[in-house]
Amino acid sequence: MNSSLHVAACASAALFAISLAVFLRWLKADSHLRLPPGPNRVPLLGNVHQLPMQSQEKKFTKWGAEYVGDIVFARFFRTPTLVINSLQAAHDLLGKKSSIYSYRPDFVLLSELMGWDCVVTHMTYGNRFRKHRRWILDAFQDKHSLESYRPLQRREAYILLSGLIQNPELFRSHIKRFAAAMIMQIAYGHSVTSLDDKFVHLAERAGKETVEYGNAGVMLVDFFPLLKHIPLWMPGSGFKRRAFEIRDVVRKMLDTPYEMVKDAMKSGTASPCLTATLLEEVLSERAPTREDEDDIKGTAGVLYGGKSNRTSAVLSTFVLAMVLYPEVYKKAQAEVDRVVGQDRLPDFEDRESLPYLECVVKEVYRWNCPVPLGIPHKLISNDQYQGFDIPGGSMVIPNIWGMTRNDSFYPEPEMFRPERFEQMDRYTAEARDPRNMVFGFGRRVCPGQDFADTSVWIAVANMVATLDIAVATDEAGKQAPPTGSFVPGFVSHPEEFTCRITPRSEQVKTVVFETSANIVL
């Protein structure tokens, strides 16, 4: 045997020995545990090779049906993973045991390489997480604070209506502006007056590039953190160069509006906002450190960069559903006409008197939950559930999409049918409200959920009251209905579609424009 063949043979033998040792260690680690049911695993890869590149939530739902249980166990490379497919299991584990289930896996790609480490959604549970969460809770869960935002929500809803009447073909842009404008005002005191607002474009670009390049916990570097040390000149480091490019965009998104507020505070022209409030809180004690500034940027940025994207996804889903299910829209319009009339626009006080519209909003959340898999949790210590052992260190994935497709809860789940909630008794309707799922679980539940939900409601109620939404027609006059498909990804948006949006009457146009002109914050 020549020397080169000898070296190759030795290398192959060494690789085989290492692989065998890893495999045996892997088998031994699981041998004493009664793990939840799940798909068969192979050495080294575990189950990662069984996952599709997109729409993993559908695969997880299929596993749940195949292995007949609320939870499914898998391994993605070396990482033990628990997939939660039922609302009950999510409440039992992520809610009742939140003290051990509220941590985050190591998001090396997103946090360390892309620069999202200062936002609370990606932080593991600890003191910094609690500080950020307290700041956001103070801004969004205090009853007085929520009520103080209502004039802003009204104003932006009326601007949305005006835009939809004047340029209906740009409905998705108007929806994005609506969602971003409220967050920009609250976070930075900045009024978004144009569809081309530079801060909105910054947030959109950072979010879009992040989501398109890699979801939390799915890139190789998250499973093999040593890869983050690969030099940029080495073959295979392309993922790292791209991550650094995105980090520059993320950094600009976080820094630019923060510096705008800081400069305005120095000149005495700052508008009341979350960033100014947090800066004043720190300044009352000391000069802000680099960590203080990063914390403030991250707290404002998590609103600016993420929550508006989810609100726009929900409202776009509403428009799509109304195009595909015109009978639902007509029924909602009839209810609003009966309760509100046509001489004014719906307001927050009307909500309890519009039960069918409430069912429509619930069904929008259920039919296309905005974040199908949430953000993975991490179990910090060993646990047991339903007689099974769950290893500490497991990545825990709440399959929210699968929960909203539970056909024992929601018969014919692919259908958009708000009446399903009318047909439930009060206790069942409350227990199966999709808002118990789509905003997360336990200590990781979205602290701004009440604000987000009321923002969606005021927009939907006013659109129903003032606009007709229908299938678009092509140049030949034939109807061109949308496919009703959704773009897979971290946030689920409807695929691009067209529709016809018109004011219900000239009187409605007058009411909208007069109300918009008279609204004062």
Binding-site entries for heme: 446
- Count of other CB atoms within 10 angstroms of residue 446: 22
Furthest-apart CA atoms within the chain: distance in Å: 94
Neighbour-count burial for 213-230, b at 16+ CB within 10 Å, e otherwise: bbbbbbbebbbeeebeee
For 24, residues 6+ apart whose C-beta sits below 8 A from its C-beta are: none
Residue 300 in contact with residue 257, Cβ under 8 Å? yes
* SS3 per-residue string spanning 46-63: ECHHHCCCCCHHHHHHHH
Which residues are annotated as part of the binding site? 446
Residue with tokens 């959340």: 365
Query: What are φ and ψ of residue 31, in 5° steps?
Result: -65, -30
- What are the C-alpha distances in Å from 477 to residues 75, 168, 467, 473, 474? 53, 18, 21, 5, 5
- What are the C-alpha distances in Å from 44 to residues 224, 231, 236, 258, 507? 12, 25, 20, 45, 67
For 209, residues 6+ apart whose C-beta sits below 8 A from its C-beta are: 246, 249
**Which amino acid does the sequence have at 502?**
T
Residue with tokens 């976070």: 187
Chain length of the chain: 521
Both tokens assigned to 329: 């829209």
Both tokens assigned to 470: 């229908």
Smallest Cα–Cα separation from 69: which of 376, 402, 488, 345? Answer: 402
Residue 124 in contact with residue 400, Cβ under 8 Å? no
The CA distance from 433 to 81, in Å, is 27
The CA distance from 7 to 5, in Å, is 5
